[in-house]
């Protein structure tokens, strides 16, 4: 047997109660959760925050390969050299769970391996979802070793994860950072 109870409040108490409940509900509801960017500092062992307040997560999401930290080397062409001082290399792929939708993906590269000093010494392909960057030579595109290069692609995710495939050509692929930005 169910009993129904009713309470009578003054108009003022009712409005204050509604305001309190609304405030509590809205305070715990993050409308922008699906709109947040994901930033990965490839090769890094700890997260860090850049000068703009963006948090870069430590290396994660890669299949295979190795990580390296090059220390405090100088990197030209960027105001954020920390991204380019560590790298993940020799990997097959990267995957990150994301809500379905449109994304701008920024791939950060700099050739920091001391034995690669001129064009043609490291060439590889990168495929982000269905967008391919064929025969990427970071030294050629950046203009010199230890120089930042950002490749930007726009993709649509329909299976709940953003996938990147790396295909070696000359030497193994490398990457320094990945930004996944909802559109």
Provide the number of structural domains found in the chain: 1
Instruction: With respect to residue 23, please indicate whether it lies within any of the assigned structural domains.
Output: no
Decide: residue 52, CB within 10 A, 0-12 exposed, 13-18 middle, 19+ buried: exposed
Task: Write down the pLDDT at residue 35.
Answer: 57
Residue in 46, 43, 64 with CA at minimum distance from that of residue 55: 46
pLDDT on residue 12? 41
CB count, 10 Å around CB of 130?
A: 9
169 in Cβ contact with 123 (< 8 Å): yes
Is residue 21, in this structure, part of any structural domain at all? no
Range of the domain at 154: 33-182
Number of H helices and E strands in the chain, helices first, is 2, 14
Look up the CATH number of the domain holding residue 95.
Answer: 2.60.120.430
Tens digits of residue pLDDT in 114-156: 999 999 999 999 999 999 999 999 999 999 999 999 999 999 9
Answer whether 110's CB lies under 8 Å from 88's CB: no
In a domain, 73, yes or no: yes
Residue 89 lies in a domain: yes
Query: Three-state DSSP class for 81?
Result: helix
In a domain, 13, yes or no: no
10 assigned to some structural domain: no
């Amino acid at each position: 047997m169910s009993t129904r109870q009713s309470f009578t409040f003054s108009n003022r108490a009712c409005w204050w109660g509604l305001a309190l409940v609304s405030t509590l509900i809205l305070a715990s509801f993050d409308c922008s959760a699906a709109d947040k960017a994901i930033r990965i500092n490839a090769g890094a062992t700890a997260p860090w925050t850049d000068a703009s307040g963006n948090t870069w997560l430590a290396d994660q999401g890669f299949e295979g390969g190795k990580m390296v930290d090059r220390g405090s080397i100088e990197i030209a062409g960027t105001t954020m050299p920390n991204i380019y001082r560590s790298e993940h290399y020799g990997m097959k792929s990267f995957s990150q769970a994301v809500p379905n939708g449109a994304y701008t993906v920024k791939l950060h590269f700099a050739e920091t391996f001391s034995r690669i000093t001129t064009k043609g010494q490291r060439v590889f392909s990168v495929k982000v979802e269905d967008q391919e960057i064929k025969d990427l030579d970071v030294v050629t595109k950046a203009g010199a070793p230890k120089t930042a290069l950002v490749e930007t692609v726009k993709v649509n995710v329909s299976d709940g994860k953003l996938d990147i495939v790396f295909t070696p050509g000359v030497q193994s692929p490398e990457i320094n950072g990945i930004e996944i930005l909802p559109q």
